[in-house]
Structure 1
């Protein structure tokens, strides 16, 4: 049986769980959020991604009830949540510091919110056991936070946040304190837990890799505005601007002037001494228009011999090699001084590879490899 694709944002019948409608947030003269509209759907794992100061944490704090919009409204399940205090919202927030109670056991940390809500002892016992099982912490229930690892503390904070079965869980840089290996493992755990509980997760992160791994959709932000909201694959393959292309992953950006060359095909003049490049774009460009061609390094082929029949071929010398274990990225300097990155998978052992520093090499790519961007 084929899995049904989860894409409620493409279904006009679906009503969003969260709706930002023309929301602006000012702190004095500073505009943190600028006339922003966004829909987030039930059971989404949604990532707000951007550099420090882009407004992503302000958006999250408005959802949590710690800030109120200056203009516009925010709805949760069709209700305007502006006037609703934080403790009355079906929203829970997991902070970067985890904010666990050091003197309470793991069990009591998870039970804390349920006790405050005056739940019965049976209900509390059942729910805490469920959460311990979900986060694989059963054997640590009687320990205190200082007696477990950072990754386990992170899971306690998650269990406590989910114990009250919120409609929406907000995660503010939740994996920032973990080392890289543990962070990657925990990303998959988060995804499994989100899928199991069906809770809508909204995560704030400045880590592109994290957003691309966990999220159903990513909102790339800059200076209080949404630049692009799309699935990770579409953000990576079809960025809508140089800003997004450059912010997500590694990319070569080549600037030039376009001339139409047939169906969706363009010739890009980018150098006085090198032939024009060939590229395709569904979006129209006018003759003489400045365009930026964004090409991912893995789509550029590097060879020691001139390739036959490639759409785009340039020659240069290897300036630098970044060896990343599974991948190598070659920085190749062209005669014009432009540097283009090409990436190859390291399927052979290091002694068998045939390209090294200062070698003359050929770079080639297809006309469809890059994305033509107007700005």
Structure 2
């Protein structure tokens, strides 16, 4: 049985759940969101990713109804929600601080919204039990928030947000307060919960690793604009700009002038006195056009001997080594002074490593290893 790939954004017949249409948000003179158009589909786990101040939280607050729109419109299920008050939207928001009621038990925290909606006792009991099970909190139902761990409090906040079965759950830096190990575990829990409930999740984060782990698609933002929207794999492998390449993961950027050499093949003149580099690109570049070659460190080989058959091989010396347990990143200085990072998996014990500081080495990569970018 073949598994169908979840990609509603590739299907022209699919209607988005959320639609931002030419949305602008101003605070006085300051433009926080600049003419933004974006579609998010049902059942998506969508990440808004960018540095502080890029507008991602403002977007989320507009979706929740806490901020008004200066221009444009936001639709939820085809309806304009610009004038719908927050409590009338099928949207729930989970805050970074979790905002749990300290005097209420885990059970009562989860039941809070249902009681306010005047649900029957049977409905509340059944829904809270379901949420406790979903978030694996049954054992903690009678405890108060201060009697459980940070990760458990985070799950209580999630259970409370999902109890009212919103169409859309907004998560603002939800894992920011957790330590790295717990954060990673919780990311997978979030993905499982999102999948089993089928709720559309939109998460705001400045943590690229988190966005790449949990999301079906990622929108990389800068200064109120969306720079690229794509699946995590495509954002990583096919960034559309130096900004995106640089924001996601580690990358080497080599500035050069492009010379067409045949179909989709270019020579790159990058520094005087060094042979041109070779790159393949489906994006067209004209003779002498400025280009930027973005190559991930794991796609660069580092060797002591000159490789025989590599289309790109440069000599340098090891300036620095960052040992990350499973990986080592070598910083190699080239003759022109530029530093290239090459990454290798540590399959052998560190004592048996054959390349060390100050060693003369060769870094090499194929013509298809990098992405040629215009800007």
Task: Give the alignment's TM-score, normalised by structure 2.
Answer: 1.00
Determine the structure 1 residue equivalent to 2:10. Answer: 10
Query: Distance between the aligned counterparts of 1:114 and 1:352, measured in 2?
Result: 61
Q: Trace 1:1-375 onto structure 2 (pairs within 5 A).
A: 1-375=1-375
Report the Cα offset of residue 273 of structure 1: 1.5
Structure 2 residue matching 1:246: 3-state secondary structure: helix
Query: Distance between the aligned counterparts of 1:306 and 1:194, measured in 2?
Result: 50
Report the Cα offset of residue 54 of structure 1: 0.2
Structure 2 residue matching 1:52: 3-state secondary structure: coil
Structure 2 residue matching 1:261: 3-state secondary structure: strand
Report the Cα offset of residue 91 of structure 1: 0.1
Query: Distance between the aligned counterparts of 2:139 and 2:244, measured in 1?
Result: 44
Report the Cα offset of residue 315 of structure 1: 0.5
| Structure 2 gaps, min length 5 | none
Residues 313-332 of structure 1: CA deviation (Å, up to 9, x unaligned) = 00100000000000000000
Report the Cα offset of residue 264 of structure 1: 0.2
Query: Distance between the aligned counterparts of 2:59 and 2:108, measured in 1?
Result: 31
Query: Distance between the aligned counterparts of 2:125 and 2:311, measured in 1?
Result: 66
RMSD: 0.4
Query: Distance between the aligned counterparts of 2:84 and 2:305, measured in 1?
Result: 67
Structure 1 residue matching 2:156: 3-state secondary structure: helix
Query: Distance between the aligned counterparts of 2:197 and 2:311, measured in 1?
Result: 49
Report the Cα offset of residue 335 of structure 1: 1.2
Report the Cα offset of residue 108 of structure 1: 0.2
Residues 240-265 of structure 1: CA deviation (Å, up to 9, x unaligned) = 00000000000000001000011100
Residues 284-328 of structure 1: CA deviation (Å, up to 9, x unaligned) = 000000000000000000001110010100010000000000000
Structure 2 residue matching 1:181: 3-state secondary structure: helix
Query: Distance between the aligned counterparts of 1:363 and 1:274, measured in 2?
Result: 14
Query: Distance between the aligned counterparts of 1:126 and 1:250, measured in 2?
Result: 47
Residues 147-202 of structure 1: CA deviation (Å, up to 9, x unaligned) = 00000000000000000000000000000000000000000000000000000000
Structure 2 residue matching 1:33: 3-state secondary structure: strand
Query: Distance between the aligned counterparts of 1:118 and 1:320, measured in 2?
Result: 64
Report the Cα offset of residue 68 of structure 1: 1.0
Residues 62-81 of structure 1: CA deviation (Å, up to 9, x unaligned) = 00000011000000001100
- Count of paired positions: 375
Report the Cα offset of residue 87 of structure 1: 0.3
Query: Distance between the aligned counterparts of 1:128 and 1:357, measured in 2?
Result: 59
Moved over 6 A (4+): none
Structure 2 residue matching 1:257: 3-state secondary structure: strand
Query: Distance between the aligned counterparts of 1:3 and 1:38, measured in 2?
Result: 27
| Structure 1 gaps, min length 5 | none
Query: Distance between the aligned counterparts of 1:235 and 1:139, measured in 2?
Result: 41
Query: Distance between the aligned counterparts of 2:122 and 2:353, measured in 1?
Result: 64
